[in-house]
Amino acid sequence: MNKNVQERKYVGIDNDINGGMTDTGKVIRDAWVFEIIPETETCEGWLSTAIQELWDKTSKEWEKYGFLISNLPEDKKQRFQRIQSAAIKRAKAEGWDPEKDIENDSP
């Protein structure tokens, strides 16, 4: 890497756009579900390489369950539901509109 180019740092899930409803936010929430990082870890200040490593670890965990919530053990399934419900509630309170994401995905 060029020494003059600084690697970007993540703002943290609490400071992310759309109330954290981003790809990086999803990776962090999934890492909480699988207890790769504690739920108190927002990843603020993490370099993009560390976020990529976290994505790799969470992906390997999801692979064990066929990438399906229904295949998760009950404790992880409950943790997933709790974390996602709280994230959706928080994001909506910050103005996130899931319908806009659907509209933006339309051709």
Each residue of 19-61: pLDDT tens digit?
999 999 999 999 999 999 999 999 999 999 999 999 999 999 9
Mean pLDDT taken over the chain: 91
Within a domain: 42:
yes
Decide if 4 is inside a domain.
Answer: no
pTM equals 0.86
Structure tokens at 87: 């994230």
Full residue range of the structural domain in which residue 33 is found: 17-102
Count of structural domains, the chain: 1
3: in domain: no
Whether 12 is covered by a domain: the verdict is no
